[in-house]
């Protein structure tokens, strides 16, 4: 039995829906205003759904609402036989002949129609959730209903540039969460604040998880709640990395077991202090940002509100709809993540894979980001990590600040301490810290020239070169 009583809901039926499609075609400025809100599945006739979808696709691809003749041609081209073609012609005639001036203002009523159809869908979804009897899904009902009621509403009325200047000039308005990495927080104006997104760029096997775990660990140390999401690692591996962090380099990951009594004592002390870290492993196939958001909202309803989310790593997350190319999907996922952080007021760290050129690169730059460049454009802060083969063995790395909306960027840190085994990362403990890209390139050029000069001198010392032949021969 349906929960919807059409007579009492102010039901806008097929007559109105034919008029609405016609209005989109005859007043394309109106169409442009509503096309992002008007979903094809709002229409209750298959032909109208097809027409709406063709209009939306044309607008997405070309940036314009098609005219009547163009839309008719698009629809007729999908007919598989003459019978379907005749049916489409008949249906389209209904669109072209729909009465627009019969007392019902289509444009004024269009938003009501969208909100009503979304609300009807929401009621059905909520009914399904109730029928399952799963209490864990009940928090989702609130989100479903809220979204339906917000259809067509402006989420932001803007603000006057002179509004609340006192808070604008307050030096603490960001309230950043420090990373705990010596030398980095100074370049981030104290760390990452809530609603901000930081991205780590590195090739595989460099230590992205190590870096993000250290950041999560320090956030807990300063009293923050952290949700650390991962897809590939064993949870026990992540736990051991946190324990190693708390031992401050005293033991490697492999040395924890033989020193378990000391580890237990430190862990108990940390557990009793403010802040917490919640670990969550999601499936590496099929996980979306809305799924992650729903999990976070469920945690909030149960009393755990994260100040920071660590997403290790975003390349694994799937887009919620299909795209013509993979790059568009990747950009969409990053945008969804950034939007989620803003809506829930959470600081977010994630990582993206570098491309082939980043492997063993001395300095990883933005051009070495795998996939869509939009992943970098959306982030507030981008930090890259690169390691040579020698650095992998010695526990060192090169890091660079590629982008910073709240601090200085274009900074490289050469041969810093980056030990995966002890989870120790320090950007200040070696010489030559914090050079700009220009300075770094200048030094590199000098070093390259010196190596060339040394090679030439060695060549000149060889027998038979420049008169250095062995006179006894």
pLDDT of 467 strictly over 70: no
- Report pLDDT for 438: 46
pLDDT of 263 strictly over 90: no
Cα-Cα-Cα-Cα dihedral sign, residues 306, 311, 312, 316? positive
Mean pLDDT of 455-463: 66
CB 35 within 8 A of CB 59: yes
pLDDT class for 39, splitting at 50, 70, 90? confident
pLDDT of 471 strictly over 60: no
- The answer, yes or no, to whether the previous bond of 98 is cis (omega within 30 of 0) is no
* Distances 243 to 185, 256, 308 between C-alpha atoms, Å: 23, 8, 19
For residues 373 and 446, the model is more confident at 373
CB 280 within 8 A of CB 228: yes
pLDDT of 156 strictly over 90: no
- Report pLDDT for 437: 47
CB 219 within 8 A of CB 308: yes
Mean pLDDT of 105-121: 81
**Cα 413 vs. chain centroid, distance in angstroms?**
26
Three-class SS string for 100-120? CCCCCCHHHHHHHHHHHHHHH
Q: Residues 358-411: pLDDT tens digits? A: 887 778 877 787 766 666 677 889 988 888 888 888 888 888 888 888 777 788
Supply the pTM of this predicted model.
0.60
C-alpha 28/C-alpha 61 separation (Å) is 16
Secondary structure of residue 39 in the 3-state scheme: coil
pLDDT of 434 strictly over 80: no
C-alpha 364/C-alpha 413 separation (Å) is 11
- Tokens for 414? 């050469």
Percent of the chain with pLDDT over 90: 9
- Tokens for 438? 């220009």
Q: Residues 189-236: pLDDT tens digits? A: 888 988 899 999 988 888 889 999 999 999 999 999 999 999 888 888
Domains of the chain: 6-149 (1.10.860.10), 185-442 (3.40.50.300)
pLDDT of 140 strictly over 80: no
pLDDT of 446 strictly over 60: no
- Tokens for 350? 């994630």
Say which residue the tokens 């060549």 belong to.
459
């Amino acid at each position: 039995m349906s929960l919807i009583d059409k007579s009492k809901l102010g039901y806008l039926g097929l007559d109105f829906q034919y008029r609405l499609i016609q209005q989109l075609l005859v007043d394309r400025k109106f169409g442009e205003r509503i096309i992002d809100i008007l979903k094809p599945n709002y229409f209750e006739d298959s032909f109208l759904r097809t027409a709406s979808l063709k209009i939306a696709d044309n607008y997405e691809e070309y940036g314009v609402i098609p005219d009547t003749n163009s839309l008719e041609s698009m629809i007729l081209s999908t007919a598989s036989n003459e019978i379907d073609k005749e049916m489409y012609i008949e249906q389209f005639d209904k669109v072209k002949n729909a009465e627009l001036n019969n007392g019902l203002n289509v444009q004024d009523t269009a938003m009501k129609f969208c909100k009503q159809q979304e609300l009807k869908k929401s009621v059905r979804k909520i009914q399904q959730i109730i029928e399952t009897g799963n209490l864990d899904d009940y928090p989702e009902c609130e989100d479903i209903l809220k979204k339906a009621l917000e259809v067509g509403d402006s989420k932001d009325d803007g603000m006057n540039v002179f509004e609340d200047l006192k808070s604008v000039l307050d030096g603490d308005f960001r309230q950043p969460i420090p990373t705990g990495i010596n030398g980095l927080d100074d370049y981030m104006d104290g760390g990452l604040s809530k609603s901000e997104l930081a991205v780590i760029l590195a090739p595989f096997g460099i230590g992205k998880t190590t870096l993000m775990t250290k950041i999560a660990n320090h956030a807990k140390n300063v009293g923050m709640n952290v949700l650390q999401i991962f897809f590939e690692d064993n949870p026990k591996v992540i736990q051991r990395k946190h324990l190693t962090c708390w031992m401050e380099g005293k033991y490697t990951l492999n040395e924890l077991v033989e020193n378990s009594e000391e580890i237990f004592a430190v862990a108990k002390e940390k557990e009793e202090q403010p802040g917490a870290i919640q670990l969550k492993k999601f499936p590496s196939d099929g996980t979306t940002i809305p799924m992650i958001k729903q999990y976070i909202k469920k945690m909030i309803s149960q009393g755990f509100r994260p100040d920071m989310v660590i997403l290790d790593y975003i390349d694994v997350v799937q887009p919620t709809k299909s795209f013509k190319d993979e790059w568009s999907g990747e950009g969409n996922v990053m945008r969804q993540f950034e939007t989620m952080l803003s809506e829930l007021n959470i600081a977010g760290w994630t990582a993206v894979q570098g491309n082939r050129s980043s492997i063993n690169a001395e300095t990883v730059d933005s051009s070495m980001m795998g996939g869509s460049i939009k992943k970098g454009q959306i982030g507030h802060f981008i930090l890259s990590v690169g390691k040579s083969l020698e650095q992998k063995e010695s526990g060192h790395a090169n890091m660079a600040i590629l982008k910073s909306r709240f601090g200085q960027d274009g900074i490289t840190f050469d041969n810093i301490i980056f030990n995966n085994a002890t989870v120790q990362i320090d950007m200040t403990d070696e010489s030559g810290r914090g050079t700009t890209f220009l300075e770094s390139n200048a030094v590199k050029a000098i070093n390259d020239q010196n190596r060339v000069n040394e090679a030439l001198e060695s060549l000149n010392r060889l027998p038979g070169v420049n008169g250095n032949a062995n006179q006894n021969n």
